[in-house]
Structure 1
């Protein structure tokens, strides 16, 4: 099967949008990713997938920790900035959580220590043991068929 058909099929799965962050020598680094999932409640583990040629791969290997920042519907430009889709120089806004840079105002900031990793094809899968979490109210930024979107959280009665 051809690569385009595979990519198109994978694009039919709607996802949230995250920015993965880590710090090297006190400097924050980030990349947009939608390959993220929860794995285990005990211990609390999540998984991210980083392409082998991504600069973030070496940074996470060096730092031994990362944060998953789940973006809100108002943070499409943040996603585009970390995806390299905005070429003009902009400084992203960070907060700090458990001594790591996290995206300011994200729906969730999830700080993890690398628990394990596995090379899988042209990606490395990082298991992260969750160390700290901050949650905020709001609606998520989504990605479907190569486009950004939003969904509205259901009203609880």
Structure 2
């Protein structure tokens, strides 16, 4: 049995988070550099916004220590992780002096940072930053991208998952 929560009653944050977790998302690492500082965060808040012009968006919690670098950077990269990159996701999800340690990172447009062996990477010029409650919404104009045949890494109900063709589609 499902329980319905109403805004007027105040949401239970854990129940709201569980409801949001029903939406399976891809896993990304958003990277940038500015003023001699390289940053990267694991995020599943990535989404396409527009095809014409080509725009994407993602969000970052306002308390993030990485925010000043994303704000100062002219470009950022969305690295869409492949199914076998859980360790990479965890590396960028944790606090660390150098999240890029041991990685063969290449520079893309405007110095954005591209991680190796991802499912896809999207290079963006930072277009806008909007207030989104307890998060900043960063909008990027796509200036380059690439993709591979790697299967994506997914996140669903608080755990990593993988994608498989649906049996109805696979049978036809």
Q: Verify: 1:82 aligned to 2:82, yes or no.
A: no
Q: Which residue of 2 aligns with 1:124?
A: 136
The residue correspondences of 1:86-101 to structure 2 (distance < 5 A) are 90-98=101-109, 99-101=111-113
Q: Which residue of 2 aligns with 1:65?
A: 75
Query: Which whole-Å CA distance do the structure 1 matches of 2:95 and 2:126 have between them?
Result: 28
Query: Which whole-Å CA distance do the structure 2 matches of 1:125 and 1:85 have between them?
Result: 21
Q: CA deviation at 1:107?
A: 1.0
The answer to whether the 8 Å contact 2:26/2:152 transfers is yes
The residue correspondences of 1:18-57 to structure 2 (distance < 5 A) are 18-57=28-67
Q: CA deviation at 1:25?
A: 3.4
| TM-score normalised per structure 2 | 0.82
Q: CA deviation at 1:27?
A: 4.3
Q: 1:71 to 1:10 in 2, by over 3 A?
A: same
Q: Which runs of 5+ in 1 are unaligned?
A: none
Q: Verify: 1:104 aligned to 2:116, yes or no.
A: yes
Bigger Rg, which one: 2
The answer to whether the 8 Å contact 2:24/2:154 transfers is yes
Q: Greater strand percent: which structure?
A: 1
The answer to whether the 8 Å contact 1:80/1:86 transfers is no
| TM-score normalised per structure 1 | 0.90
Match of 2:158 among 139, 143, 146: 146
Q: CA deviation at 1:153?
A: 5.4
**TM-align CA RMSD:** 2.3
The answer to whether the 8 Å contact 2:37/2:69 transfers is no
Query: Which whole-Å CA distance do the structure 2 matches of 1:85 and 1:117 have between them?
Result: 23
Runs of 4+ in 1 over 4 A off after TM superposition: none
Q: How many residues align?
A: 156
